[in-house]
Amino acid sequence: MRETASARSGNFFPWCCTALAALCVLASLWAAGTAQPLLREAESKLAEAEAHWFQRPYLETGPLLDLRIGAERIARERQDYESRHGRNAQPLPGALRREREALDQMLQPAAAALDAMPARRFGVDPVHWRFASLLTHVPIHGGLVHLFGNVVLLLFLGLYLESAWGRARFMGIALLSAIGAAAGYALGAPASARPFVGSSGMLAGLLTLFALHYRKALSDGFYWVGLVLGGMWLLLPPMAGWQWSLDAPGAALLTGPLPPLVTYGVYAGAALCAFAAYQLFRLTGLPAFDPEAENEPATAAPDAGKIARLRASGKHEDAFVQANAWARREPDSLDAVLTLRESAKALKRVPAERAALLKAVRLELKAGLLAAALDHWQELASNEVPKEAEPALLIRLASLLHESDDRAGASKALRAAVENAGEANRAVVASRVARAARDIDPQIAHDAAWRALQRPEIELEERQALEELLGEVIRRMPREIEAAVEQAKSADGRPVPIDIETRVRVLDAIDAIPLELDHEGVHISTSAGHKKLMRYDRIQAVSVAAIQGLSDKPVLIVDLVLDWNASAGDKLRVIRLRADRFDPRRVVPGVESPLEALRQLIATVLGRSKGVPLPDPDAARGMPFASFPELVLYQRLVLMAEGPAQPSAPRQAKPDEELPEPEIEEPAKSPEFWEFKA
């Protein structure tokens, strides 16, 4: 099958490769202009130092002159000098030191000028390694010919690869290719003083994947033009000794050209990193490189019969490509989507199969094919509900599943609807799920309603309706368990032994009044008159709520929970502070508003104890406080414990139940505060 490049569609502009090419042009022009005065200065100082040394070859040359003159010539000059003047024809130590200092003074400006050149500042220098040079070496080129050839090849490869892979993958693979090229140079020439610059290494990696990606386009001219010309441009110059990437501005001042194998090592490192990036994208779940699927011509008119013949002949890949093109061209065609699903299933492409099946469910519901939609949904959700399923679809499917007596499937869909809801519509979805689950699963209705009530955007009328729904499903939940026990009977009518998990903890609440806050904990006075110190490290959670029915107005209670992680059936110990029985301004002095003083008290305890804020961080700090119609509902929903509906007979704390009593006098009660309500 003939493949056409996706870049020919005409609706995609390769912005990334164009921007990268422009960066190469600008950086190379800037580097060439900046390097010229530095080169002249370095050449002048090196020539002066070289002449100075030739007159005194007995002096140590140093690294720069070693590279410029060469070890062989240095040895020859010293031998000639000794043959003319004798072995001991050296000046006295003082004169020798002055001559050496004069040579160093000539070399220092040359070294500074060479180090200031852009090719050395941004290129890969194995001797003076900088991690930033893994990428900064790419834009700078050694000359106009080097720049022009690389920019043309970059634009060609980017035109095809960026449109085929997408911008993010193209840039990711290009950057990894550049890193591989720099690493290849550092490993191939670890002691080289020549900086490595240019995009040749990166282009070698991209050209390798260009050959891989478009391997099925052998009959198309663009493939061979790009592959042959690009390969010649990268491979032939090093064979001829033109190492443009290595002969950067300033390298001509030094001797010792590197062999072509170093350049080929650069290309090998880039190709390996590019191929590793290809495999990485596949392993992380991103779409694999599939030229056929991406570049199928839009002129074909596939149908089910043609695709069936391809599958019958064993051409499953071609069948999948045809089905994919058909489904893209006719997105509302149920036949196209089901055909795509069958083709993906034959290739064992599970993500594509599940995506097609989910789309088929949507189309079947839209067309009124409810039985087919339910069958496909049960097949799709047999393992897990797809994250792509929108909450509205899941709620509708839950209703249909409930009507078909599949209560377990309906419950599963409703739970997934709450989980798949986005942050923006989480409250709306939770409210709809609570209503839909009223007759399906009281537990889900309870959880969804409570989740909706925690959202501040819920209106008052909606909040009241959800609270009524909560009261209804909570009363029904024990009967649901009894009904399940009644149905589980043996053939002779006798109950079958079953294990029912008890998820209720027993509330053990002690009424108390806070006296003082210090760095160790909260000093309290219990209802029995015992003064205790409740240390912060013992407070595992702090729960705050406004409870109706305790007085003529809602009353704020603050529960200091000591055993928040208690298991089902265990005691949940709580120190309960009722805001209508103490003045928080005496505990938090300097605050005029009782409500603000209470907020500061709660914030202090939460901050120092690092306890869990309940029902949620905002509600615990009064932004705003959560409200409950009765105490028992609050205890069940927030504390997840069963306790008395009215705190009329609180348990008295034992004298030895807490830490030793601190010496604190209880402050006088403030009569004007007893009417403080939430």
3-state secondary structure at position 513: strand
Q: Choose from 157-161, 419-423, 460-464 the range with maximum mean pLDDT.
A: 157-161
User: At residue 64, what is the residue type?
Assistant: L
d(CA 295, CA 160): 11
> For 293-352, how does the pLDDT look when each residue is reduced to its tens digit (9 = 90+)?
444 444 344 567 777 777 777 777 777 877 777 787 788 888 888 888 888 888 888 888
Q: Which two tokens stand for residue 162?
A: 């960026």
Residue labelled with tokens 């107005």: 553
Closest of 576, 555, 543, 542 to residue 630, by C-alpha: 555
Q: How confident is the model over 582-610, as a mean pLDDT?
A: 88
Confirm if 12 and 163 have CB atoms less than 8 A apart: yes
The secondary structure of 347-398 as a DSSP string is TT-HHHHHHHHHHHHHHHHHHT-HHHHHHHHHHHTTT---TTS-HHHHHHHH
> Which residues touch 468 (CB under 8 Å, ≥6 apart)?
none
282 vs 675, higher pLDDT: 282
Across the range 166-182, mean pLDDT stands at 87
Pick the more confident residue, 595 or 657: 595
**3-class secondary structure, 103:** helix
What average pLDDT does the structure give for the chain? 75
The CA-based angle 415-421-426, given to 5 degrees, is 105
The most confident of 165-174, 211-220, 574-583, by mean pLDDT: 574-583
Q: Are strands 541-547 and 555-561 parallel, antiparallel or unpaired?
A: antiparallel
Query: What pLDDT is stored for residue 557 in this prediction?
Result: 92
Distance CA 115, CA 64 (A): 12
- Whole-angstrom CA distances from 458 to 314, 428, 462, 463 are 57, 8, 6, 6
| H or E element that contains 577 | strand 571-578
Q: How confident is the model at residue 12 (pLDDT cuts 50, 70, 90)?
A: low
**Residue 393 pLDDT more than 50?**
yes
Q: Give residue 560's pLDDT.
A: 93
Radius of gyration of the chain (CA): 40
Interval 215-230 mean pLDDT = 75
Half-sphere exposure of residue 633: CA atoms within 13 angstroms, side-chain side: 24
- Which of 642, 611, 606 has the alpha carbon at shortest distance from 622? 606
Pairwise CA distance, residues 184 & 126, whole Å = 10
Quick one: CA dihedral 477, 475, 461, 459, positive or negative?
negative
Lowest mean pLDDT among 181-185, 246-250, 525-529: 246-250
- CB atoms near residue 97 (< 10 Å): 11
Q: Which of 611, 586, 616, 613 is nearest to 598 (CA)?
A: 586
pTM of the entire predicted model:
0.41
* Distance between first and last Cα of the chain: 75
pLDDT tens readout for residues 631-645: 888 888 888 888 765
Structure tokens at 344: 């993906």
d(CA 56, CA 84): 12
